[in-house]
Structure formats: C-alpha cells, structure tokens
C-alpha cells in the first residue's frame, strides 16, 4: 500500500481524494495526512458539496 500526504486541500487535493474513492483505490493508496489550516468540519463539507464536481456519492464526515 502506498501512503501519501496532501499538502493543502484546495481544488487538486479534493479532486485527488474524490477520484481515489470513486475508483475504489483506497486499498492501494492511503492518505496519511492532509496539511490544511481549516477545521475538519469545513474540510468534510468542501469534500461532500463540491462546486465543480457536485455532491460526493460517499458520505463524508469529520473524524479526528
């Protein structure tokens, strides 16, 4: 399993995470960390309700 970290959670970071789950690659790639100053609830909301790609098919929540 390849472990990765995202430096920031902007457009590219959210697109990468969304593609990871939509292609069911979470068993091959594991996101270890996301380097972002925002709080978890905001990041979960941005992931779930994306303005470009629409709503996420998977349920997203903030978990610490």
pLDDT digit string (tens) for 20-45? 888 888 889 988 998 999 888 888 88
60, 48 Cβ separation under 8 angstroms = yes
Which H or E run includes 44? Answer: helix 40-48
User: What is the dihedral angle through the alpha carbons of 16, 19, 20, 21, rounded to the nearest 10 degrees?
Assistant: 130
Evaluate if residue 48 carries a pLDDT over 80: yes
Q: What is the mean pLDDT of the chain?
A: 83
Query: For residue 62, what pLDDT is reported?
Result: 60
Tell me the domain boundaries of the chain. Answer: 2-55
With a pLDDT cut of 70, the percent of the chain lying above it is 88
Query: For residue 58, what pLDDT is reported?
Result: 66
Model pTM score: 0.72
């Amino acid at each position: 399993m390849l472990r990765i970290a995202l430096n920031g959670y902007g457009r590219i970071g959210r697109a990468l995470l969304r593609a990871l789950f939509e292609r069911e690659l979470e068993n091959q790639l594991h996101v270890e960390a996301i380097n972002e100053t925002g709080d978890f609830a905001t990041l979960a909301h941005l992931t779930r309700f994306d303005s470009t790609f629409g709503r996420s098919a998977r349920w997203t929540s903030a978990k610490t």
